[in-house]
Structure 1
Amino acid sequence: MIQAAISPVTVSKDEGLMSQNQISILWVRRDFRLANNAALVAAVKRGAVVPVFIRDASVDALGSAPKLRLEMAIGAFAEALEGLGSRLILRSGTAAEVLETLAAETGASAVFWNRLYDPRSVARDTDVKALLKDREIEAQSFAGALLFEPWTVETKTGGPYRVYTPYWNAVRGRDVAPCLTPPLEMSTAEDWPQSEALAEWELSRGMFRGAAVVRRHVSAGEHAALERLDEFTDTLIAKYKVDRDRLDIAATSELSDALSLGEISPAQCWHAGRRAMQEGAAGAEHFLKEVVWREFAWHLLWHYPHMDRENWRPEWDGFVWNDDANHPHFMAWCRGITGQPVVDAAMRELYVTGKMHNRARMIVASYLTKHMRMHWRLGLQWFADCLVDWDLASNAMGWQWVAGSGPDAAPYFRIYNPETQAQKFDPKGTYLARWLPDAFGDHSDASMSFYDAVPKAWKAYITDAPAEPLVSLTEGRAVALAAYETYKTQ
C-alpha cells in the first residue's frame, strides 16, 4: 500500500490554553475531507469548530449531475464529522449573510476556508473577507485545492504559461508540502446552531429517474477516494502510461470526481505517485503528469478567467461554428444516436455512470466540433450538466483544446476518426459491446441501464434499430478542413 506523505498536526499546551474558548467557523466548499485540510487544521488548533456548508448561487448554478454528486459528498462528509463528535451545519443564502448570522449565533470570532480559483468564487470570497474583517471577525483562506498557487508559476520572462510541456518542466521538480493528518477529535460549540436538512434541498431532483442509475456507479466520500488511490498505486499505476487510453479495460485511478469535490487533494495523489515512481512503477511519472494537467487547466483559468465562455485564442472569434442547441445533429449527439458506434457508446456511458473515459471525451468532442461543426460551448454546457466529475477548468480547457481554439500546438486540423480510434483503443469491441445493445453484443446490464437513465421524452427503446450515420467521416473531415482553410484566408 502506497500512502501520501503526512505531517502530524500538533497543538502545544500554550496554544490549547489560549484557544480553548475561541470558536471558529469552518466554511466548507469543495473540500470534503478531513486529511490534508489546512483550514480545518487551523480551526481545530484554535478551539471549537462550527463546520458549515452554504447553498448559495454557485451551488444552484451547478448542472444536474454535479448537484447529485455534491449531495453525495455532503452526506458522506457529514457522516465523517459525526464520527469526530461534530456536525455539518447546512444553510441557504448568500455566503456573506450566512456567515455573519452564524458568527452572531455562535459567538465565533474567526472564519476559515480553503481557496477556490474560479473568478466568481474569487470575487465572492474577496467580498466575504472584507465584510468579516469590517465586523472584526478574523478571516483566513488557505491553499489546498491545487499543488501550486496559480500566481506562483511564471515563465522566465514573467507571465503565465500557455503550453503544457513547459509548464510541466517548470513544476516537476518543485517541492509539494507533506500532507496534514486529520484531527482525531473536534471541540464543538456548547449550543449547536440549527441546520437545514440535506434531503429538503433536493439537489438531485434535476436528475429525475437517472439519479438512481448513476448513484450505483459512484462511491462518495474521503474513505472511498483514499481506497481507490491505494488500489490504483498498488495494482494499476505500473501500466498506466501504456493502458490509460484503452477504452476496454480499467486502467485509470477513477479519482476525477473525488478531486473535483476535494474528497482527496492533488497533493495526496502527487505524493502517492512520487512514492510509486521511486519504487520503480513505470507509469508513475505519467500519472503525475496527469495530475499536473489538471493544475495547468486551473493555471490557465486563473490567468484567462473567460476561458469557460470565450475562445482562449481570440483570433478564433471569427471562426464559424453552428451554435444552434436545437440542431438535429446536436440533439442526436446528446442522445447517443449519431450512428458512429464509439461516439454513441461514450454518450451512453455518460448517462449511466456520470463519467466518460478521457479518450472517449476527446473522440466525442472532436466529432461534435469537427465532423458536425457544432460550437464547443454546446458540448461544454452539456458535459457541465451530465458529468459527476465536472471541473470548471478541466472541462473548459478540454473542450477548447479539442476544438482548436485552446492551448494546443496542433489545433483545428487534428481531427479524430471515430472508427480508427475505436480500432486502436477498443480492439476487440469490448467497450462497444458493453454500451451498445444488439449490434455489438448481448444486452449487458450497462447497456440496458441507459434506457432507465435517460428522460422518457427521448423515447429511447431497446427495440430501436441502430442509428444510421448522420455524417460521413470522410465528408465531415473534408468539410471541417475546408472551413479551416476558408477561415485562414479571411
Structure 2
Amino acid sequence: MSDTTATSIWWIRRDLRLVDNEALTAAAAKGPVVPVFIYEERVEALGAAPRWRLEQSLKALAAGLEAKGLKLVLRKGAALDVLRAVIAEAGAGAVHWGRLYDPASRRIDADVKAALRDEGITAQSHAGHLLHEPMTVKTKMGDYYKVFSPFWRAIEPLGVAAPLPLPARLIAPEAWPHSDDLASWALSCDMRRGAAVLARHSTAGEVAAWEKLTRFIEERAADYKAARDQVATEGTSDLSDNLAYGEISPRSVWATGQAATAAGMRGLEPFLRQVGWRDFAHHLMFHTPHMLHDNWREGWDSFPWSEDETDAKVQAWKYGRTGVDFVDAAMRELWVTGKMHNRARMVVASYLTKHMMVHWRVGERWFADQLIDFDPANNAMGWQWVAGSGPDAAPYFRVFNPDTQLQKFDPERAYFKRWIAEGQREPPQTALDFYEAIPKHSGLSPKAVRPQPIVGLKDGRERALAAYSAR
C-alpha cells in the first residue's frame, strides 16, 4: 500500500469536532481514517457530570461522522493496548491525536509515541486544544508566566494560527474494526435521575457549539463587558463545556471574534481575554502540575483549613443550604445545569475557603464531580485563585461578601428566584428542578424554611483574615 493511501487512526480525546482538527486533517491526508475513542483511565477518573456530558458529546460526534461516511469506533482499555489492536485490525500505518497538557496525558502520550514508533508506526500528536501551547510562551528570561496580565500581553502579539477547514475528503476503510456499544459503557449511570434534569439544560456537539458562538456574536457580544457579571442575564457565550470537550476549537472562537471586530464590532477584547485565561490555566498546569492537587504558592500547607467533607456545614454548602442567598442559588444552579456563572463560582469558592475555612480541595473535588464543563486546569486554577494559594495578585485578603455581590450583580434578585424555591408561592421550574436532580434521600422540600446562615459574613471574614495574618 502506498503512503498516500495508508489507513490512519484518529485517536480522539478532547477534540470531538471535525473543523479545525489538526489530527483529523493529518490522518485524512494519507487516506482512510478510523476515528477511535478509548475509555481509559482518564475517562474512568472523571466525575459523574463530566462523564454524562462526555456521552452526549460522543453521540453528537458519532452522528457527525456518520453524515460524512465514517464510524466512531469505541474501545475500552489501556490506550497503547487498544491502539495496537485497532492498528492490527485496520491495517493502519499511523496514529494521530491532539495534545493535552495534564501530567497523566503527557505521560501516556510519551509512552504511546515511543512504543508505536519502535514498532514502525507513525505516531504524531498535534496542537489545537489551546491558542498557544504552554511550552511556546516564555518570559524574556525563558521562564513561564506566573501572572495573567503579562502572559496576556505576551500572547497578544504572537498571533493565532488560522483554523483549519473540514478536510475535503474523509475516506472510510474497507472494513471497520469492532466497536463497543456506547450504552454498554454506562457513562451516565452515576448521574442517576439527575441526568434527565441536565439534559433539559444543556446541548452538546459541534453543531450546537457553532450555533452558540454565532448567536453570541450576533446578539450579545457587543454588551459582553457590561453583561458578563450580571448573573441573571444571558450575557456570556455559554461555550465552556463545548471548549472543554473540543467540540469547537479556541482558534475558531478567536478567528470568529477577530472577524467580527474587523467588521466593525466593538467590545470583544474582554471576551477574547477569557479565551486567554483558559490558555493561562493550562500554561500553569503544564509548568507547575502540582497545582492540580497541592497549593500552588509556597507557605500554604500549614494554613488551618478543614478538609472534613463529612462536616454538616460542607454538606449544607453542597446542597445550597448555607442560608446565604447568593451561595445557595449558585450551588443549586450547579445541580440543575451542571454549570455555574463565573461570578457565582468566585463567590461560592470564597465563602467555602474563607468564611467556612474549608480547604479548596474540597470544593475542587465537588466541582470536578458536578461540572459538565470540567477542565482540570481551569478548575484547579480557579479554586486556588480565589482561595489565596494560587496566582491571584491580590490573594487571601480578597474576601467576597455574597450579599453585596448579589446586590451588585442581581439587583432584582432574579437569579436568586430562578434557583431558590423556598418562600415563593409559585417557584419557577428551574428552582423545582433542583429537587428532581438531588438524591431522594436528601429529604429536601421546596416548602422548607430558608435556614439561617451557617457562618455569619462578618464573623467569617474576620476569622479568615485573622488566620491569614497569623500565617
TM-score computed with the length of structure 2 as normaliser: 0.98
1:398 counterpart residue number: 382
Kindly report the root-mean-square deviation, in angstroms, between the aligned alpha carbons of the 2 structures.
Answer: 1.1
Instruction: State how far apart, in whole Å, the 2-side matches of 1:409 and 1:191 are.
Output: 56
Code of the residue aligned with 1:140 in structure 2: it is: Q
Contact 1:84 1:184 in 2 (8 A): no
1:416 counterpart residue number: 400
Q: Deviations over 1:244-301 (max 9, x none)?
A: 0001110000000000000000001111111222334332000110000000000000
Contact 1:55 1:92 in 2 (8 A): yes
Flag the 1:442–1:77 CA change in 2: closer, same or farther, 3 A.
same
Contact 1:239 1:282 in 2 (8 A): no
Q: 1:67 aligns with which of 22, 28, 51?
A: 51
1:166 counterpart residue number: 150
Q: Deviations over 1:430-473 (max 9, x none)?
A: 00111111435731010000000001121111221111111111
1:216 counterpart residue number: 200
Q: 1:321 aligns with which of 276, 280, 305?
A: 305
Note the 1:347-386 alignment, pairs <5 A. Answer: 347-386=331-370
Shift in Å, 1:329: 1.2
Q: Is 1:143 aligned with 2:127?
A: yes
2:25 counterpart residue number: 41
Shift in Å, 1:190: 1.0
Contact 2:6 2:31 in 1 (8 A): yes
2:451 counterpart residue number: 467
2:184 counterpart residue number: 200
Contact 1:434 1:441 in 2 (8 A): no
- Note the residue ranges of structure 2 that are not aligned, 5 or more in a row: none
Contact 2:422 2:448 in 1 (8 A): no
1:448 counterpart residue number: 432
Code of the residue aligned with 2:348 in structure 1: it is: V
Q: Is 1:111 aligned with 2:95?
A: yes
2:228 counterpart residue number: 244
Flag the 1:306–1:175 CA change in 2: closer, same or farther, 3 A.
same
Q: 1:476 aligns with which of 432, 452, 460?
A: 460
Note the 1:222-237 alignment, pairs <5 A. Answer: 222-237=206-221
Instruction: State how far apart, in whole Å, the 1-side matches of 2:5 and 2:157 are.
Output: 43
Instruction: State how far apart, in whole Å, the 1-side matches of 2:337 and 2:459 are.
Output: 32
Contact 1:345 1:436 in 2 (8 A): yes
Instruction: State how far apart, in whole Å, the 2-side matches of 1:95 and 1:256 are.
Output: 27
Q: 1:430 aligns with which of 394, 414, 417?
A: 414
Code of the residue aligned with 1:67 in structure 2: it is: R
Q: 1:77 aligns with which of 51, 61, 64?
A: 61
Q: Deviations over 1:67-92 (max 9, x none)?
A: 00000001100110000110000000
Secondary structure of 1:316's partner?
A: coil
Contact 1:209 1:453 in 2 (8 A): yes
Contact 2:39 2:76 in 1 (8 A): yes
Q: 1:338 aligns with which of 299, 322, 327?
A: 322
Q: Is 1:153 aligned with 2:121?
A: no
Task: Give the total of aligned pairs.
Answer: 471
2:110 counterpart residue number: 126
Q: Deviations over 1:99-123 (max 9, x none)?
A: 0111111110110101111110000
Moved more, 182-191 or 203-212: 182-191
Q: 2:246 aligns with which of 249, 252, 262?
A: 262
1:14 counterpart residue number: none
Instruction: State how far apart, in whole Å, the 2-side matches of 1:317 and 1:158 are.
Output: 28
- Note the residue ranges of structure 1 that are not aligned, 5 or more in a row: 1-16
Identity %: 52
Q: Deviations over 1:220-240 (max 9, x none)?
A: 100000011011111111011
Shift in Å, 1:18: 4.9
Code of the residue aligned with 1:63 in structure 2: it is: G
